[in-house]
Structure 1
Amino acid sequence: MATTPKSLSNLEPGKFITLEKIHPSGTLQARKQANGLVAFFWRYTLNERDARELIGVFDPKSPPLSVEPTAFGYSRRAAAIKAAEIATLHRQYLSIGGIAALRRQQEADAEKEKAAELAALEEQRRQVEARSKFTLEALLRDYCGYLQNLGRQSHTDALSIFKNHVFDAYPTTSAKPASEVTTEEIADMMRKLIEAGKDRTANKLRSYVRAAYQVAKAAKSKPSIPLAFKGYNINSNPAAETSPDESANRPDKHPLSLDELRTYWGVLQTVEGMPGVALRIHLLSGGQRVAQLVRLLDDKVSEDCFTIYDGKGRPGKPPRAHPIPITKALKRELDTCEGNAPYRLSTDGGKTHISPGNLGKWAAEAVGTQIPGFLLKRVRSGVETALAAAKVSKDLRGRLQSHGITGVQATHYDGHDYLDEKRQSMEKLLRLLNQPKETVIQFPKRKKA
């Protein structure tokens, strides 16, 4: 059909007209749209059904012999060339359903590409968020909260060390994503403490940071760990590859001698009020860990025993109940503070418990210069040493003071509470304390003949 730009512009709206045949198949058609624009189509037959593929709109100002579309549309000749390209594609993809199937595939590919772009943008956003949210400081704070929820008393010590020696001392490293912190950076934190003469604190810092990373790393496979730790995306533990200062971990074996324990016991008889009660309970119960003993709850005291909770042990494990039998001597002391609740050892009626630091201060003030180098922690090791000398077995000493209770048998099979055995050890301790001090008789040296 012979057409001119003017005749195409004057087509009857909504009606298709065939303009020419297209090689290798189909025809070029045109139709005036409702908006007044004329559109070109390639018309073809597939499986005995007619179909059309839109080419583009007609540009009446385009040169009639132009072979490329303008910014506003096609000339008839350019539309015919485009129709031939589409016809060739149609024949090439007949095995999958021709041009219509190809367009559907292209649309699906475009959707996949768009989804991939959106996923990449989301991942980029997540990484930006992770860099600002899942920092070293956030990880260490979350770990302290985790310890607190488990009932671990060490959460306050850990947070104090983190605040003083990580957050304040290394703000730039603290703000880094936890997954990007290096072993060297952790070692530098430890080195600064060691150079300041704080070797033990350096080792504790290493231990706490290492445990925090281990919790986050294990969160991927251990469902008991809160989901929030997975966000840190920890795959390696930078603190695990640092080396502790072994000299700072050597035990400070300086227990009170039996005579010094007897002196201390004598001093305690003169200490009045809650300080005396708490210190006597500490010694009579076998030198329990002060931080655990001061948190004794009133409802955990019965006729036969009281229970404290040992929070030391592996990260992730809840505190272990540690029952202590009540001897006659202990009962007298516990009865004096009956009614304090929820904390039995308290100076304000039970609202708060005695602080471990205050208990140590009271003991030191009471002893004065009577025992050189006195520290409350020496009482615990002194009790163990005295009981060892009195032939109390290592196992029973460990069960009385809640340490060294390990192994499959102790953990999974042995359900005995050992209250009778602990009571016998505590009564033996009291007999040792009440015995007179040993005296050394100095004989005059024999004169030489």
Structure 2
Amino acid sequence: MAQKLAHTTIMAMKSGTKSDALEGKGAGSLLFEHRTSGILVYLSLRRDGKSERMKLGSYSDKTLREWRSYASAKSLEVRKFPSIEDYRAAEAERDRAKERANQFEARQGTFAQLLDAYVDDMERRGKSSAKAVRGALKLDVTGPFPDLSLRKAKEIEGSDIAEILRHCLTRAVANKGRGVRLTKASATNGKKRQADKLRSYLQAAFAFGLSNDLNPLRAGDAVQYGLKTNPARDVPTIEGANQANTWALTKDELKAVVLAVEDLPERRRAIAKAMLYLAGQRVEMLCRVVWDDLYDDGEHGPVMRLIDYKGGKGTPSRDHLLPMTDRLGEVLAPLLVLKDAGKAPGPFSLRGKVAITPGTALDIFSVLGDQLAAKGEARRFTWRNMRATIETHLAALGVNQERRAWLLSHGRSGVQAVHYDRYNYLKEKQQDLDKWARYLDELAGNVVEPKSNVVAIVGRK
């Protein structure tokens, strides 16, 4: 058995080297070398008649027992390679691979970064819903779940998505200036619908993250998410969500709304009546109307152009033209005179300076819904219910589904409709808007003799 060195022997070294044999055939030995800076430790091996040694460190870093154990383990690793030099090369490559992995991990985006990048991409593509999506994600995800938001996006699981949706269903209703209420989730207060929309936002965000990592146009050092699956994909839809706003007001309830609108302050009244008499167009589209969107097209007379951005990825915007009928001219007259003041960008403005926001316009009918429900004159409703109501009553008036789709700019499907049908249906829209205006006027008890006052206000193209 080879002679073992004692600690005192090693510490007493004044010069040269001393060897301490390791256990096992071919394991080599520990080599201690005296230097002015201290005693250095090496692993010494002899293979194929050649001696090799590899520096392990300074003797003071470990006890003698620890050095023997460490050197034995290192000897096993080294002897898997033809030489110590080959071992060092493999070790260097492992270090480089580990560094690459660390760098990749450092670039792995968090859940919050994924959500921000998703909405930023929506804004770049001109999606009109981007602002609403950002607000919903802040309200129901990044705000109430700060720790979850800082986790790597790839670490988010389906159970986390389910917890987020549960919070959306049970949280207190957001304060919108009319008092804070705590309402339980139901198919009538819209929270099921909101939760299901949130689920679709999260599913779309993770789908964006999956495609982002594979996008060849993405910069090589950009944030990556390392996603393998979409955790929101397998979370079921919220049962009953699509029932939340599909009901429509009865004729008597609609009459109560039409009469209540007349009691609003002048500009709110004008905007609310415009929303009604324009047959329930999407509010976001109305709020984007500028003065140049009101013009005489030379063939059909005065028109209002709405820009419809709704559609899937890569879908171009679409002009949605509405004929400015005589009755609409009367309804919109208080708003159209704002053009002469030269401050408002378009007709839909409350104070004559900036365009009304979609949220403010929607609140007009939410407040009316609360007020009429308190009086027992109608069920509590929102503008979404009003849109369902208008389309339902239009159908009852004999306006078929296809004409309602033209009037309300519903999505088109089929090659012919999407790519080849460029007719604007202004004649049909005028007939249906006139029919709808007469219906509303009758509900209000008015018999209106229309007076055309639009042509002088709009421009000509």
TM-score by length of 1: 0.65
Q: Conserved in 2, the CA contact under 8 Å of 1:150 and 1:319?
A: no
- In the other structure, the counterpart of 2:102 is 124
Aligned counterparts, 1:23-38, within 5 A: none
Q: Give the 3 Å change call, closer, same or farther, for CA 116–413 of structure 1 in structure 2.
A: farther
Q: Conserved in 2, the CA contact under 8 Å of 1:327 and 1:423?
A: yes
Match of 1:430 among 426, 437, 455: 437
Alignment of 1:373 onto 2:371:
no
Paired residue type of 2:196: N
- In the other structure, the counterpart of 2:268 is 275
- In the other structure, the counterpart of 1:143 is 118
- 1:239-295 CA-to-partner distances (Å, cap 9, x unmatched) read 011011221222533323345444544554554522122112111211112233233
> In structure 1, what is the Cα distance between the partners aligned to 2:212 and 2:107?
20
> In structure 2, what is the Cα distance between the partners aligned to 1:391 and 1:181?
51
Please state whether the residue corresponding to 1:411 is helix, strand or coil: helix
Q: Conserved in 1, the CA contact under 8 Å of 2:259 and 2:444?
A: no
> In structure 2, what is the Cα distance between the partners aligned to 1:228 and 1:271?
56
Alignment of 1:353 onto 2:346:
no
> In structure 1, what is the Cα distance between the partners aligned to 2:141 and 2:270?
39
Q: Give the 3 Å change call, closer, same or farther, for CA 323–270 of structure 1 in structure 2.
A: same
- 1:49-102 CA-to-partner distances (Å, cap 9, x unmatched) read xxxxxxxxxxxx99xxxxx99979xxxxxxxx99x969xxxxxxxxxxxxxxxx
Alignment of 1:409 onto 2:416:
yes
Q: Give the 3 Å change call, closer, same or farther, for CA 409–202 of structure 1 in structure 2.
A: same
Match of 2:233 among 225, 240, 247: 240
Match of 1:288 among 263, 266, 281: 281
Could you tell me which runs of 5 or more consecutive residues in structure 1 were left unpaired when the two chains were aligned: 1-60, 63-67, 73-80, 87-105, 439-449
Aligned counterparts, 1:98-109, within 5 A: none
Higher relative contact order (CA 8 A, sep 6+): 2
Aligned counterparts, 1:208-357, within 5 A: 208-220=201-213, 231-269=224-262, 271-303=264-296, 304-314=302-312, 317=315, 319-332=317-330, 333=332, 334-338=335-339, 339-357=342-360
- In the other structure, the counterpart of 2:425 is 418
Among all aligned residue pairs of Structure 1 and Structure 2, give the percentage whose two residues are the same amino acid.
27
> In structure 2, what is the Cα distance between the partners aligned to 1:432 and 1:362?
19
> In structure 2, what is the Cα distance between the partners aligned to 1:301 and 1:420?
17
> In structure 2, what is the Cα distance between the partners aligned to 1:135 and 1:162?
14
TM-score by length of 2: 0.63
Instruction: Decide which structure has the larger Cα Rg and report it.
Output: 1
Q: Conserved in 1, the CA contact under 8 Å of 2:212 and 2:218?
A: yes
Please state whether the residue corresponding to 2:327 is helix, strand or coil: helix
Q: Conserved in 1, the CA contact under 8 Å of 2:323 and 2:426?
A: yes
Match of 2:194 among 201, 209, 216: 201
Q: Give the 3 Å change call, closer, same or farther, for CA 71–229 of structure 1 in structure 2.
A: closer
Cα distance, 1:358 vs structure 2: 4.7
Alignment RMSD: 4.0
Aligned counterparts, 1:166-205, within 5 A: 166-194=141-169, 197=185, 198-205=191-198
Q: Conserved in 2, the CA contact under 8 Å of 1:150 and 1:318?
A: no
> In structure 2, what is the Cα distance between the partners aligned to 1:121 and 1:425?
68
Cα distance, 1:425 vs structure 2: 1.1
> In structure 2, what is the Cα distance between the partners aligned to 1:357 and 1:349?
15
- 1:316-336 CA-to-partner distances (Å, cap 9, x unmatched) read 645544332222222341523
Q: Conserved in 1, the CA contact under 8 Å of 2:245 and 2:384?
A: no
Paired residue type of 1:373: R
Paired residue type of 1:120: K
Paired residue type of 2:163: D
Please state whether the residue corresponding to 1:241 is helix, strand or coil: coil
> In structure 2, what is the Cα distance between the partners aligned to 1:237 and 1:146?
18
Paired residue type of 1:394: Q
Paired residue type of 1:274: R
Alignment of 1:386 onto 2:387:
no
> In structure 2, what is the Cα distance between the partners aligned to 1:424 and 1:214?
44
Paired residue type of 2:144: A
Segment of structure 1 superposing worse, 144-153 or 395-404:
144-153
> In structure 2, what is the Cα distance between the partners aligned to 1:225 and 1:396?
44
